[in-house]
Every structure is written in C-alpha cells, then in structure tokens.
Amino acid sequence: MKLLFPFILIIALMPFEVQSQESLQKLYPVDFSQVNITDPFWSGRMTAVATNTLDACIQFSEIKTGRIRNFEKSATHSGQHEGIYYDDSDVYKAIEAMAYSLKNNPNPLIEKKADEWIDKIAAAQLPDGYLNTYFELTDISKRWTGIGMHEDYCAGHLIEAGIAYHNATGKRKLLDVAIRFADHIDTFLRKNNRQWFSGHQEIELALIKLYHHTNDSKYLELAQWYLEQRGRGYGKEWGNQDYCQNSLPVKDQNKIVGHAVRAMYMYTGVADVAAITNDKGYIKAMNSIWEDVVYRNMYITGGIGAEATNEGFGADYDLPNENAYCETCASVGMVFWNQRMNMLTGDAKYIDILERSLYNGALDGLSLSGDRFLYENPLASSGKSQRSEWFKTACCPSNIARLVSSLGNYIYCQSANAAWVNLYIGSEVKLPVEKQFLGLSMQTSYPWKGNSTINITEAPKKSYQLRLRIPGWLKEPAHGGLYFYTTQQQNASIEISINGKPASFREELGYAVIDRQWKKGDLIEINTPMEIHRIASRAELKQNNNRSALQYGPMVYCVEGADNNQQAWNFILPVDASLHIQYEPGLLGGVNTITMEAKIIVPGADGQTVQVINKAIKAIPYFAWNNRGANEMQVWLPTSFRDLKVNQ
Ligand code: FUB
Ligand code: ZN
C-alpha cells in the first residue's frame, strides 16, 4: 500500500488533465488503482487469481516451460529458444495480472517475482530497443520479415504490462523497456514506410494506452498508422486476409470475419482512436460490426468465435453448442471492446454485453480454484471437455487472470459532470471533481440478488450527476433480437430511492440519471429485480430450435451431470415447467441454482421400452460448470423429445 498511495493520487487527477487535450472523448475510465473491491463474489475470484492463477503462471513460465529462460538466454545471446514464437506475450500478461492483483491483494513475494522477471526482460532488450526472444535466439536478421510472427503482438502486451506495473507500483523499469520498443517500432516500421500491418492485432490498443499514459502523440499516430495499413494488400502471400481482418481498410469493414481475438483487440483499438479523433469512418465501421457480432454471431454466454478452424467467426446464425470454440481470450476481448464502445458513446447497451461476456463466457475460462482453465468454452458437453492446468498455446490463463484482477477498471466511468456506475460490484472509489472529490461506497447482493446500495462518503460542493446503469437484462437478454425472453418479467423496472424516499430520475441511453447536490451520508438504494427467464433464439439459429436457455440476473445457467445423476442430456424441459431459484451456500462456493420440473426418459429393464417420468433437475450458473471433473452439460435445454440427444 505504501508504494501505491502516491501514484493513486497522480492517477486520480489524470482524467481532467487528459480531457483538456481530448475534448472529443465523452467518458473516461476510472483506473483500477482508484477502486477498492469489497465484493464477496468478486473478491473470491480475485483471491483465486492472486494466489493459484498467478502461481500457475509463475510455475509454467519459469519451471515447466522455458518462457523466462528465453529472456535469460537472450540477455547472454546464448542457447536455444524454447516453446512457441509468441510465448513472450504470456509473461507480459502475467506481469500485467500481477500488477493489478497487487492493488487488492498486496503481496511482497509477487512483487519481488515481477521485479525479478522485469530485470531479465530488460536485460534481453537489444540496444536499438528491439525485444523478442524468438528472433533473438533464432535468427535476428529475420526480424520484421513475417507479418504473422507476432512481434508487434508481443510488443503490445509488453506495453500494457509496463503501464499496469507503473500504475500499480510506481516503478517504471518495464515501462521504459516498452517505450524503447515502441520507439524502435516507430522508427523501424512507420518512419521507414514499411509495407507492414500487424498479423495479430493488439499493439493498436496498447499504443493508445501508452499515448494516454505519456501524453506523447507519437504513440497515437503510430496506432493510427497501424490501423491505416490494413486492407492495402500487404502480406497477401500470407494467406486468407479475412482471417486477420485485412481484406478491407478498417473504415470499409462492416461484417465480422476471421479470428475472434484478433478482431476484438483491433476493434478495441479502433474505438479508442475514434474516441480521441471522433473519426466518423471508424465510428460507422464499429457500429456495423458490433451489430453483426451481437445480432447474428454471439452466443447467449457472450462468447464469440464459433469455429475452431479459424479460431473465429463462421456463417451468420451458425452457432453450434457442443462444438462451440468460444475461446476464453475472445470473451476477454469482448469485455475490452464493449467498454471502449461505451466510453465512445455513453450508451449502456455496450455494458450489457460486457456484463454478459464477463460473468459467463469469460469467467467460465477460470476454475473456482483458479488453477485450472478452459481454452474453449462450449455450451454443451457430452463429457469430454476438461479443464487443463496449462496449454501449449497458453494465451488464456494469463488473459483471464489480468481481466479478473483488473475488474476495478470496469465498474465506474467519469465524464465532466457525471459519475457513471456501469457494474454493480461492491467497491469504494473516490472520484476527482475539479479540486474536490465524490466518494462512493457500493454494497450489493449481485450477482445473486438485484439489491445494491451506494453510500456517499464524500461530496463536492456542487451539483453532480450520478448515472446508474439500468441492466438491459431487465427487458431482454441482448439487443438485436437474436435471443428473446419467452417469459415476461413481472417487474422490469429499476427502483431507486435516496435516503428512504423514491428518487426521481430520467432515463438516458440505458442509465438512470440523477442530478443533485450530494451530501456526505446520502444513501442510494437500487433494486434491479431478478427473475428467472426462459430464453429462445431466432429461428435462423437452427442449433437452438425447440430449446430454451435460462437466465437469472446477469447469469446464464446450464444443467450439469454432477447435479443430476451424471446426466444432463436425458430430459426435456416442458414449455410450462415450473422453475425455482434458491441460493445454495455450500455448492460451488455459493451459487444460485434453478430447479425445474423436467421429463426424463428412463429405459425399461427389457431394453425395448422407455418410460417418461417427471423429475426435478437442477441448473447451475454456466461459469461454475466443469469444476467437478468432466461430465455432461447443456445450456440450451430441449423442449421437445424430437430434439433430445442421449449421450451413449
Ligand atoms: O496467436 C496468439 C493467441 O493464440 C491467439 O490470440 C489465440 O487465439 C491463440 O491462437
Ligand atoms: Zn486464449
């Protein structure tokens, strides 16, 4: 904490300094380092990351694979590269996760480990700023010759890690390494007019972070250069250009294609640039592509990228459940992109999608214990899916680690005259309002119940808006009608009271806007009623025909064999089945479960006949499945015997 404090003050004053230079930016993020998470649900997830996930990242970077050895060898220019050419990126993402984690779970041993790694990384950097252990240990003359070789992808993760570590600890050694590498890229590629684009996007969003962090417009220009290099025919020899969103200039793109993680990272960078420059071409492209993702290509879990072949998008409305690829990193990318779209527009519909991806598609990638991971997140399993302790391509573990530990980045936002509450997560924050502060302390029963309170712990002496997100799931599962509720919510309105009296507010782009001069001690009570919903899909989404999914609050549910005699594929859910929600403190760390009256098929003793019996079936939140070994699971539950598949 000692190290964090002076830096928190610097960060706390940042938004308004930046604002004067970038008058086009509507909303500003509130940095994780300003936010204290006190939430029981998320504190559990963050502790698992701070302990077991970081431990797995350390073990697999240092001992069980050669990731750290690669830096040591590069420093002495000796030895063979171990692993895959993009493995450096996993070390950078792990340091980024360590940095965020130090805020809510201070740990001198983790900080020491990060410092030790940073020394090794710095020692591996070449005098001209280049840093990539694969090319340093194989053939340095080949650097910057292969558009698909992830050199700028790794650089992007280095930049993000350098900034996060600087924000968390005030130490700038890694940031300086990252700046030298960014400067090298600027000189070597942009100033040399190289026919180059990034084969795996990531550097664009990282350069924008670096621009905000340093106020040096060179990095904004370099990010723009990277985006403008696309669709010019460079790298044709490298294969299908849709794969890496390079068939068209970014401004002409209007369909989602190709590799899902690449797309998410790039569009995050595009939204970042558009927020600064107000570039109408980028904004138009973002709107069309976002609708294409959410209206035709997104799973109910907020997961994206149905196909394993390209780790990405397939045909519209083709969303297989058992074979869904839905890489964890792609859901993490959905969180990034939707946050930036919200900041660009001030529209809560993006946070609705962010929340869906965060609580379902992304969180599913992390076991409850924190040391087992899913790379693919299918929506049905016949029992073959199993969590792993690591992967050969290990992008997902450190990615989910950095997302969970940086949760403080996603709860609040700020604009000139308002504080925005995007996610209901127990936390404390002190937001600068000119030379004063607005202090908020939020308590909530999310994600299990819809009651939250916000205490005003400090108030500026002026009127200041509070904008409370009205969760989109009160009315519909997702914008665009790909999914819809088949059950009507009894009460679909947010209820807000201040100091015990109903508050008056106006609704704007999905927010309840309250304008008032706050006083220390004011208490805001918010109720966003949660009810069980059955969800159906548009008919074009054939895989879900005659099937229902269940949702309660932000959580999507699934039936897992572990709760149902090891079977999850042997029943149908009649359209009029009764559904009951209940909190089970002893199950899976404490979760809401849904019990339903289903019809089960039971084979007769003669093997020739079957019997249909009514049986209570239990569903659990999707993120919590696969924590009791491999077993059957389904999110989309059949409503007709025609669609029943019994696992053999
Ligand atoms: O190429 C780096 C990462 O590995 C990608 O983002 C993932 O999809 C996996 O392919
Ligand atoms: Zn991944």
Distance 498 CA to ligand 1 centre (A): 47
Per-residue pLDDT at 15: 39
CATH 1.10.3470.10 fits 414-470+493-527, yes or no: no
Average pLDDT of 370-375?
98
Comparing 416 with 330, which gets the higher pLDDT? 330
The angle that helices 280-296 and 328-345 make with each other, rounded to 10 degrees, is 130
For residue 103, name the pLDDT band (cuts at 50, 70, 90): confident
11 has a pLDDT exceeding 70: no
Cβ atoms of residues 634 and 567 within 8 Å: no
- For residue 82, give both structure tokens: 């171990």
Nearest-atom index, ligand 1, CA of 330: 8
Smallest-distance ligand from the CA of 262: 1
What mean pLDDT comes out for the span 115-126? 98
Mutate to test the pocket of ligand 1, among 154, 264, 327 (most ligand atoms within 8 A of CB): 327
- Summarised one tens digit per residue, pLDDT across range 32-56 is 999 999 999 999 999 999 999 999 9
pLDDT at 238: 77
In angstroms, rounded to a whole number, what is the distance separating the alpha carbons of residues 148 and 246?
12
Count the Cβ atoms, other than its own, within 10 Å of residue 285: 22
Domain range annotation of the chain: 38-229, 244-358, 414-470+493-527, 532-643
Determine the residue type at 432: P
Name the residue of 152, 311, 402 to mutate for ligand 1: max ligand atoms within 8 A of Cβ: 311
Residue whose CB lies within 8 A of the most ligand 1 atoms, among 151, 198, 200, 245, for a mutation test: 200
Q: Note the pLDDT of residue 166.
A: 96
Interatomic CA distance for residues 444 and 463, integer angstroms? 25
Q: What's the pLDDT at 606?
A: 85
Q: What is the pTM of this model?
A: 0.95
Question: What residues are neighbours of ligand 2 (ion), with CB under 5 Å?
Answer: 327, 329, 395-396
- Averaged pLDDT, 410-419: 95
2 CB-contact burial (10 Å; exposed 0-12 / middle 13-18 / buried 19+) = exposed
Ligand 2 centroid – CA 330 distance (Å): 7
Please give the distance, rounded to the nearest whole angstrom, from the Cα atom of residue 634 to the centre of ligand 2.
23
pLDDT of residue 114: 98
* 429-467: pLDDT as tens digits: 999 999 999 999 999 999 999 999 999 999 999 999 999
Confidence class for position 3, pLDDT limits 50, 70, 90: very low
Measured between alpha carbons, how far is 626 from 385 in angstroms, rounded to an integer?
A: 8
Structure token pair of residue 394 = 């290990």
CA–CA dist 391, 87 (Å, integer): 11
Mean pLDDT calculated for residue range 120-143: 98
Ligand 1 interacting residues, C-beta cut-off 6 A: 86, 200, 261, 311, 327, 329, 393, 395
With vertex at residue 326, the alpha carbon angle to CA 489 and CA 238, rounded to the nearest 5 degrees, is 140
- pLDDT score for 23: 42
**pLDDT computed for residue 274 by the predictor:** 96
Mean pLDDT over residues 301-322, rounded? 97
Give the torsion sign (CA, 13, 14, 20, 24): negative
pLDDT digits (tens, 9 = 90+) for 234-254: 988 777 899 999 999 999 999
Quote the tokens at residue 543. Answer: 């895989």
pLDDT tens digits, one per residue of 71-87: 999 999 999 999 999 99
Compute the distance between CA of residue 448 and CA of residue 468 in angstroms, rounded to an integer: 19
What's the CA-to-centroid distance between 394 and ligand 2, angstroms? 7
Helices (H), 379-454: 395-405
| CA separation for the pair 330, 403 (Å, rounded) | 12
Q: Which ligand is nearest the CA of 399, by number?
A: 2
Distance of CA 294 from the midpoint of ligand 1 (Å): 22
Quick: pLDDT tens for 329-365: 999 999 999 999 999 999 999 999 999 999 999 999 9
pLDDT in the model for residue 646: 62
Mean pLDDT of the chain: 94
pLDDT at 251: 98
Closest atom of ligand 1 to 260 CA is 8
What DSSP element (H or E) covers 532?
strand 532-537
Residue type, 357: S
* pLDDT computed for residue 602 by the predictor: 86
Which ligand sits nearest to residue 202's alpha carbon? 1
pLDDT bracket for residue 25 (50, 70, 90): low
Distance 629 CA to ligand 2 centre (A): 21
**Residue 13 identity:** L
Task: Tell whether the model's pLDDT for residue 13 goes beyond 60.
Answer: no
Q: Which of the 8 DSSP states describes residue 114?
A: H
